[in-house]
Amino acid sequence: MAASYEVTATRKRPQDFDRLVGQEFVVSTLENAISENRIAHAYLFSGPRGVGKTSSARLLAKALNCEKGPTAHPCGTCDSCRAIAQGKAVDVIEIDGASNTSVNDIRAIKEEVMYPPQSSRYKIYIIDEVHMLSTSAFNALLKTIEEPPEYIIFIFATTELQKVPATIRSRCQQFRFNLISQDLIISCLRSAAEDLSIEADEDALFWIAKESTGSMRDAYTLFDQVAAFSGNHITLDKIREKLSIAGFSAIAGIIRKTLMKDSAGTIEAISSLFSSGVSADRIIKDSAEFFRTLMLYKAGIKRPDILGSALSDIPDDIAAMLSEEQIEAGLKAVLDLYRDLRYSLSPRFEIELLFLRMSALPDLVTPSSLVRKLEEMKKGVAEGSIVVSEPKARVRIEAPKTETEEKATPAPPEVKDDPEEEEEETPPFQSEEAFSLTMDSLGEIASALLKMGKAASSRFIMSIERIEEKDGAFTLITSKPLAYNGLRNDSKSIEKAVAAVFGENPRIFLRLEENREEEEFSEQMKSLKAFFGGSIIRTKKEEKETKESNVSQYKPVRADEDNGLYPEPDEDD
Ligand SMILES: [Zn+2]
């Protein structure tokens, strides 16, 4: 790149109104006013940063002071036009409101205002970020705006209109500037790349435009940054590498693994993102964007500028795998984490947990989807496409129950949430032999899992803290959500491993237990714990009493998490 490289935002600064992009309404209003010679003494330009307010203020100054004007189309060649373009015009005074906020600064302006312009028609004050002025400075300014000398014109610019006092606003002719559309930004970037003879891939320009969220100046600044490391060809890959962004396809890759319940693959993919320098913050932001795009796509939106992604980049397999409600739940989980991230000790752990939990997304059943499913079933039965057969006979441990009772009892409440569940249900305990799944057998199950290549589940099974047995069914209990979710998502392997070790196929339930200390101990005990550290240990006697007095006390953390493959047996039946 040449040594005298000029930043793109400056190089592309419009020198006449026709070149000002994205603000057609402002431009036509200003042009009309000037050509009809309706010139105000105070203008107020408001709108987001980087959308052309300052450029417009300079253009207006040019239009008013052009030797061939005032004209909507300044010549650009006269002394005044050239001086303004170079920022050297003595009669066009630019003041940064952010650094000249005091009343003294404004007093100086008030004194200067008394002297007429040196060489131009008007003496023009452009005050940027005018909302930064102090109240007394505004008050001092007010008198000047009310009765300015004929040759004085103020042009104020602000990003925060609501902070400009109403008394000032009402004395100005106001113009609101809009964000610039993504398409327009892309076409400006394309022309900037052509000027520099740089090739630029469409998806790379798309990314820059999206990142700059409607600000032309931000887009040009980012473009310069990207151009600086891109050589003669700007590509999305180079951007991804140098700016450490996760990107759409990387997030899609992780989510694909997650949905396939490949926990190890998920963690590895997250790890490789971190090691390539992508921050936790960035991963969360890109994930949120991913789910948002998917949600809009499912809703039928096809415009890339709204989707925030090219249509060809949308992973159809993931879109097909998840319902709209499930995608919404995914987005919500990401946004919740984004809110909590700053309180987290380890953002990385949170992200790993988030994605592991997302493996349950396809199992998520919302009330509305349930109603829909029921409607479909009703229709199916009515039309004969669903055939209802006699319930299968089942071997029971405790005898006297009729077929109908049998059908009604084994399903705990959560199972009813998912009609498909019944078909997959493990057959109940088949024998009256003394089969027992104890804490001691966990080791064997773990090694069976390891042999099956299920390293994560093998580790998780060792996190089981207690096993409860009831009517031949076993409830594995853990207080670790990661283990709970991991095991639940790998239910088939657990069943296989248990069958391999014992030659039996018992009913197994899984339960996530809340941290009992936090829940049950008094405030006083908690403050003792906070003071001394360590943990509160219950004596055997206490434990027994608590258990007996309130059996149903330890419910899963969230009932809706428990509509998975291992619902808890209903205590009351
Ligand atoms: Zn001129």
Ligand 1 centre from 175 Cα, in Å?
Answer: 24
How many H-runs (helices) and E-runs (strands) does the chain carry? 28, 10
pLDDT at 542: 45
* Residue bearing tokens 């415009």: 303
Residue 1: inside a domain = no
Q: What is the mean pLDDT of residues 513-519?
A: 59
Split at pLDDT 50, 70, 90, the class of 352 is very high
Ligand 1 centre from 74 Cα, in Å?
Answer: 5
Ligand 1 centre from 151 Cα, in Å?
Answer: 18
Ligand 1 centre from 460 Cα, in Å?
Answer: 77
**CA distances from residue 198 to 187, 211, 224, 241, 338 in whole angstroms, order as listed:** 14, 20, 11, 19, 37
pLDDT at 523: 59
**CA distances from residue 93 to 125, 198, 307, 444 in whole angstroms, order as listed:** 5, 37, 43, 83
Instruction: Show the tokens assigned to 503.
Output: 């030659």
Ligand 1 centre from 60 Cα, in Å?
Answer: 12
Ligand 1 centre from 29 Cα, in Å?
Answer: 20
- Half-sphere exposure at residue 276, Cβ-oriented, CA atoms within 13 angstroms: 19
Ligand 1 centre from 72 Cα, in Å?
Answer: 11
Same domain, 340 and 317: yes
Ligand 1 centre from 1 Cα, in Å?
Answer: 33
Quote the CA–CA distance of 571 and 550 in Å, as a whole number. Answer: 11
Split at pLDDT 50, 70, 90, the class of 42 is very high
Instruction: Show the tokens assigned to 566.
Output: 């291992």
Q: What secondary structure, in 3-state letters, does 42-91 show?
A: EEEEECCCCCCHHHHHHHHHHHHHCCCCCCCCCCCCCHHHHHHHCCCCCC
pLDDT at 522: 59
Expressed as residue numbers, the domain containing 161 is: 8-176
- Half-sphere exposure at residue 47, Cβ-oriented, CA atoms within 13 angstroms: 22
CATH number at residue 43: 3.40.50.300
Ligand 1 centre from 71 Cα, in Å?
Answer: 9
Quote the CA–CA distance of 372 and 30 in Å, as a whole number. Answer: 56
Dihedral sign from CA coordinates of 45, 49, 53, 54: positive
Same domain, 221 and 124: no
H-helix segments, 469-571:
481-489, 491-502, 516-520, 523-532, 540-549
Ligand 1 centre from 42 Cα, in Å?
Answer: 22
Split at pLDDT 50, 70, 90, the class of 387 is low
Quote the CA–CA distance of 422 and 295 in Å, as a whole number. Answer: 30
Q: Is 204 helix (H, G, I), strand (E, B) or coil?
A: helix
Ligand 1 centre from 149 Cα, in Å?
Answer: 23
Q: What is the mean pLDDT of residues 157-184?
A: 91
Ligand 1 centre from 193 Cα, in Å?
Answer: 30
Q: Is 216 helix (H, G, I), strand (E, B) or coil?
A: helix
Ligand 1 centre from 397 Cα, in Å?
Answer: 99
Cβ–Cβ under 8 Å, residues 509 and 475 = yes
Split at pLDDT 50, 70, 90, the class of 547 is very low
Which of 76-85, 155-164, 391-400, 511-520 is predicted with the least confidence, judged by mean pLDDT? 391-400
Ligand 1 centre from 129 Cα, in Å?
Answer: 27
Ligand 1 centre from 62 Cα, in Å?
Answer: 7
356-374 pLDDT, tens per residue?
Answer: 988 888 877 777 777 877 8
Ligand 1 centre from 113 Cα, in Å?
Answer: 24
Cβ–Cβ under 8 Å, residues 477 and 465 = yes
* Residue bearing tokens 């004007």: 69
Ligand 1 centre from 70 Cα, in Å?
Answer: 9
CATH number at residue 306: 1.20.272.10
pLDDT at 415: 39
Ligand 1 centre from 40 Cα, in Å?
Answer: 20
Same domain, 220 and 234: yes
Ligand 1 centre from 159 Cα, in Å?
Answer: 29
CATH number at residue 193: 1.10.8.60
Ligand 1 centre from 360 Cα, in Å?
Answer: 67
Q: What is the mean pLDDT of residues 227-248?
A: 84
Same domain, 47 and 143: yes
328-345 pLDDT, tens per residue?
Answer: 999 999 999 998 887 888
Ligand 1 centre from 21 Cα, in Å?
Answer: 21
Split at pLDDT 50, 70, 90, the class of 399 is very low
Ligand 1 centre from 136 Cα, in Å?
Answer: 37
Which of 85-99, 300-314, 393-407 is predicted with the least confidence, judged by mean pLDDT? 393-407
pLDDT at 63: 92
Ligand 1 centre from 559 Cα, in Å?
Answer: 74
Ligand 1 centre from 83 Cα, in Å?
Answer: 10
Residue 100: inside a domain = yes
Ligand 1 centre from 57 Cα, in Å?
Answer: 15
Same domain, 164 and 201: no
Quote the CA–CA distance of 56 and 174 in Å, as a whole number. Answer: 13
| The last residue of a domain, from among 120, 149, 176 | 176
408-437 pLDDT, tens per residue?
Answer: 444 444 434 444 444 444 444 444 445 677
Ligand 1 centre from 63 Cα, in Å?
Answer: 7
Ligand 1 centre from 82 Cα, in Å?
Answer: 7
Question: What's the domain count of the chain?
Answer: 4
Residues in the chain: 573
Same domain, 132 and 223: no
Ligand 1 centre from 75 Cα, in Å?
Answer: 4
Residue 370: inside a domain = no
Ligand 1 centre from 81 Cα, in Å?
Answer: 4
Residue 375: inside a domain = no
Chain mean position to CA 306: 15
| The last residue of a domain, from among 296, 328, 363 | 363
Residue 157: inside a domain = yes
Which of 79-93, 383-397, 441-455, 494-508 is predicted with the least confidence, judged by mean pLDDT? 383-397
Ligand 1 centre from 119 Cα, in Å?
Answer: 13
Same domain, 489 and 522: yes
Ligand 1 centre from 66 Cα, in Å?
Answer: 4
Better-predicted residue by pLDDT, 1 or 379: 379
| The last residue of a domain, from among 363, 391, 424 | 363
Q: What is the mean pLDDT of residues 470-499?
A: 84
Taking alpha carbons only, the member of 508, 513, 447, 450 closest to residue 477 is 513
Ligand 1 centre from 37 Cα, in Å?
Answer: 17
pLDDT at 396 over 70: no
Cβ–Cβ under 8 Å, residues 216 and 52 = yes
pLDDT at 530: 58
Computed over every residue of the chain, the mean pLDDT equals 79
Cβ–Cβ under 8 Å, residues 216 and 180 = yes
Ligand 1 centre from 79 Cα, in Å?
Answer: 7
Ligand 1 centre from 20 Cα, in Å?
Answer: 18
Same domain, 223 and 298: no
Same domain, 453 and 481: yes
pLDDT at 5: 66
H-helix segments, 134-234:
135-146, 166-169, 182-195, 202-211, 216-230
Ligand 1 centre from 88 Cα, in Å?
Answer: 14
Same domain, 79 and 139: yes
Better-predicted residue by pLDDT, 155 or 13: 155
Maximal CA-CA distance, the chain: 109
Residue 416: inside a domain = no
Cβ–Cβ under 8 Å, residues 177 and 52 = yes
Ligand 1 centre from 94 Cα, in Å?
Answer: 19
Better-predicted residue by pLDDT, 170 or 405: 170
Residue 477: inside a domain = yes
Same domain, 129 and 146: yes
Ligand 1 centre from 14 Cα, in Å?
Answer: 15
Ligand 1 centre from 211 Cα, in Å?
Answer: 37
Which of 159-173, 379-393, 414-428 is predicted with the least confidence, judged by mean pLDDT? 414-428
Which of 57-61, 103-107, 199-203 is predicted with the least confidence, judged by mean pLDDT? 103-107
Distant-in-sequence, close-in-space partners of 146: CB < 8 Å, separation ≥ 6: 171
272-313 pLDDT, tens per residue?
Answer: 889 888 888 889 988 999 999 999 999 998 888 788 777 778
Which of 447-456, 464-473, 538-547 is predicted with the least confidence, judged by mean pLDDT? 538-547
CATH number at residue 516: 3.30.300
pLDDT at 190: 94
Q: To the nearest whole percent, how much of the chain has pLDDT over 90? A: 24
Ligand 1 centre from 44 Cα, in Å?
Answer: 24
Ligand 1 centre from 109 Cα, in Å?
Answer: 26
Ligand 1 centre from 65 Cα, in Å?
Answer: 7
Q: What is the mean pLDDT of residues 525-548?
A: 51
Residue 546: inside a domain = yes
Cβ–Cβ under 8 Å, residues 557 and 515 = no
Same domain, 130 and 268: no
Cβ–Cβ under 8 Å, residues 157 and 57 = yes
